[in-house]
Structure 1
């Protein structure tokens, strides 16, 4: 498993000046290289870009040999990502002529953040006494650092390290070193998990979790979304004001909403893992969920629809699942993705699946066939848990952890949905409202 350790560098004013010089030079080198790559027919070939700009990066920007090599790789990776988005946009326009054309490659991408890459044992290395040596334009700089105790323990025990990033926080005027740590974990076994848990995510309830014994956890999103909405209103008001003091305030608020969402997701993941220790956890496969659920805003769309789209666009369910996955492995649990098809429309008691089971898409689930009633998000969590239980049973019987049958794409969905329709929740652990 690879974790990212965020190390706070304890620097004085003179040392910060040296760090400013190298980060600004690196950023200027990125923008220069980006312009050259754009002129070379928007190429993403790092080798060709390096051959064109390496000498200039050394002489004009004063970068070391290793940093002069990392700049073309960084720019090449950025162009490769943009070309991928262009291709995806082209496919989307073939399916829907009204889809917007991706304009990311109309102009050379610009790099604004003062972030640079350091190669381990070349540009940075760790010293005794909790110190790190990093490269600058004027040679090596040895700085003490602080960080999360668990990450410091991994570093002290010799965890494998990769390419780090020197990152500058404008709001705190502080430099951090982001170091990827690769640690070894024991291979999980089906018998090593004491319970099976399903997690359903949404907007009204950020997460609803339930195990097969009936234990539940609800995390309401009302107060959280209201606080996130305040960040949006404050940013909009300051942007409209446009004064120098408003601009300074905008810099201070920059990224605060993003950090708030990340902190909420991280805390929620820990809460789930503490409530259900040593668990086999199933989460929904939500790839491209916004494309399936959002309605495109039109000039005459209602304010309610536009507000709902903004909320969905701002919240990151993939981030929550990512936090849950890596924290689970450190706590003896495990996370797998299962199909999200019809989890909130299928009755866990009789298996009847219909949109009518969710009257007016409300919070109450009422089965049209057997009359079973329960909180709709809890029904979704239980269905996800049942599908995770099916994956675990297949793992125990075959020795292979996979939730995808060995059939073609169309047959795969039909085969899986057929198996899911046979799953039932024990009525002994269910309560009718």
Structure 2
């Protein structure tokens, strides 16, 4: 058994008095997090909770009026954000060309930051049974504030399954969005582990622009999810954004922020639908195989260099799809495997020959000298699927290496 974690978002109904209490608490908590962040920045990025708590606890209680648990949580919130930034920097090294024209890279650390991490949105992290709890048979939320505790109702009809006792509730985040209050609660549940020896399906998935996903399974079945309508809608968002940016007014900036949120929510829904369809189609004991895009520069991928494609490529949420597919697969006793992306779009799945020239980007056709030809995106999914099969067979790090074409 292993733990599966998801986040539920409860909309809270608040009175005018509770609105004031929540606004005060989340604003003070935001300032406290920035206070901790500045201290971390000024002290060689020391992320030790014990040291930070010893140095800052009394200031957090006195200057910001936080209760004991909130003061400790503000330290944890700030350090968690720095750890996230640290990982992001590690995955995106600084690249440059040396005097010989060869590409070099330098690993980035927190010392590359020019200013402290900033918390802009008022928020508060609430510890389960200390800062928030469910009372009256789970129908009412009791939430701690800077002063007294307060009780409020919430919209939870869609989340009833998470309150049946089989899920553990973690530290929640209280936030306000467009005038409405929400409590984001991570929930954890023990689920059956994926067993390699019980695999029934191995599905290779190639992600791209023309087709959002191309999946290929062990039976040779291929499914394409077109990205044409998605690209059209994203280009409309881009055009509206360009027009608003050219205005530069305060109202235009507010509109830009609203459009960004709407686009992100819409794209998240698309990712949810695609990942859900894949998991439901193949059922339990399925291995989904994706290219590992960690550290891959989009400019290095074999795609045309038009402005639209570069925009689409950077804005397409590859990683979000990966996250959605992973937790849905884990919930269904399945697994997601990430494999090396090297040569997956250049290798002939029939004879194993690797030639970059075999792929025609304009015609979206892969044609090998051995006579095999197919859609170029399908070729990628086929090669990815084979790497998954190799992993099942015992190769813990499957990858392709260039071999000599025997026909030459």
**Interval containing the TM-score (normalised by the shorter chain):** 0.7 to 0.9
Q: Secondary structure at the match of 1:165?
A: strand
**TM-score normalised by structure 2 residue count:** 0.85
Q: How does 1:54-65 map to 2 (within 5 A)?
A: 54-65=57-68
Write out per-residue CA displacement over residues 131-184 of structure 1, whole angstroms, 9 at most, x where no aligned residue.
Answer: 2222111221222222473x4312222412222111221x3x111111111111
Distance 1:98 1:186, change over 3 A: closer
CA distance in 1, matches of 2:356, 2:208: 17
Structure (1 or 2) with the greater helix fraction: 1
1:19-34 correspondence to structure 2 within 5 Å: 19-34=22-37
Return closer, same or farther for 1:7/1:207 CA change in 2, 3 Å cut-off: same
Corresponding residue for residue 386 of structure 1: 386
Shift of 1:89: 7.3
Deviations 1:200-220 (A, max 9, x none): 111111100121223221111
**Aligned counterparts of 1:87 and 1:201: Cα–Cα separation in 2:** 24
- Partner SS for 1:136: coil
Superposition TM-score, scaled by structure 1 size: 0.81
Out of 253, 268, 274, the residue aligned to residue 280 of structure 2 is 274
1:112 to 113, 120, 125: 120
Q: Distance in 1 between matches of 2:187 and 2:330?
A: 15
Alpha-carbon distance in structure 1 between the residues aligned to 2:336 and 2:367: 29
In 2, the alpha carbon distance for the partners of 1:350 and 1:233 equals 45
Q: Does 1:7 align with 2:13?
A: no
Q: For residues 236 and 87 of structure 1, what CA distance do their matches in structure 2 show?
A: 32
SS in 2 for 1:55: helix
CA contact (8 A) 2:172 2:186 kept: yes
**SS of equivalent to 1:183:** strand
The residue matched to 2:276 in structure 1 has which SS?
helix
Task: Show the 5 A alignment for 1:87-102.
Answer: 92=95
Residue of structure 2 aligned with 1:417, choices 400, 404, 408: 400
Distance across 1 between alignment mates of 2:32 and 2:97: 37
Match of 1:410 in 2: none
Query: Which segment is superposed worse, 348-357 or 283-292?
Result: 283-292
1:284-336 superposed Cα distances (whole Å, 9 cap, x missing partner): 222112266269xxxxxx9x544433222211212111111111222343322
- Shift in CA distance, 317/91, structure 1 to aligned 2, threshold 3 Å: closer
Note closer, same or farther for the CA distance 1:62–1:338 as it changes in structure 2 (3 Å cut).
same
Structure 2 residue 51 is the aligned partner of structure 1 residue 48 = yes
Deviations 1:3-42 (A, max 9, x none): 1112121223322222111111111222233333334355
Residue 161 of structure 2: aligned partner: 153
Query: Unpaired runs of 5+ in structure 2?
Result: 404-408
Q: Secondary structure at the match of 2:297?
A: helix
Quote how far apart the aligned CAs of 1:249 are: 2.5
Give the Cα separation in 2 of the matches to 1:308 and 1:162: 40
Do structure 1's residue 140 and structure 2's residue 149 form an aligned pair?
A: yes
Q: 1:376 to 1:26 in 2, by over 3 A?
A: same
Matched position secondary structure for 1:63: coil
**Secondary structure, in 3 states, of the residue corresponding to 2:21?**
helix
- State the shift of 1:71 in Å: 1.3
Kindly report the root-mean-square deviation, in angstroms, between the aligned alpha carbons of the 2 structures: 3.0
Match of 1:218 in 2: 224
Distance in 2 of aligned mates of 1:288 and 1:155: 39
Are the structure 2 counterparts of residues 76 and 189 from structure 1 closer, same or farther at C-alpha, using a change threshold of 3 Å? closer
Shift of 1:244: 4.1
Gap runs ≥5 in structure 1: 296-301, 395-401, 405-412, 422-433
Q: Aligned-pair distance for 1:254?
A: 4.0
How many Å separate the matches in 2 of 1:39 and 1:341?
Answer: 41
Counterpart of 2:378 in 1: which secondary structure?
Answer: helix
> Structure 1 stretch 198-207 or stretch 279-288: which is displaced more?
279-288
Query: Contact 1:6 / 1:148 at 8 angstroms: preserved in 2?
Result: no
Counterpart position of 1:290? 297
User: Kindly tell me: are residues 38 and 383 of structure 1, through their superposed partners in 2, closer, same or farther at Cα, counting changes over 3 Å?
Assistant: closer
Which residue is equivalent to 1:356?
357
Contact 2:91/2:295 (<8 A) preserved = no
Q: Measured at CA, do residues 271 and 243 of structure 1 come closer, stay the same or move farther in structure 2, by a change above 3 Å?
A: same
Task: Quickly say closer, same or farther: Cα 1:284–1:100, change in 2 above 3 A.
Answer: closer
2:166 is equivalent to residue 183 of structure 1: no
For 1:176 and 1:284, the matched residues in 2 are separated by: 35
Query: Matched residues in 2 for 1:87 and 1:245: separation?
Result: 37
Q: Structure with the greater relative contact order (CA < 8 A, sep ≥ 6): 1 or 2? A: 2
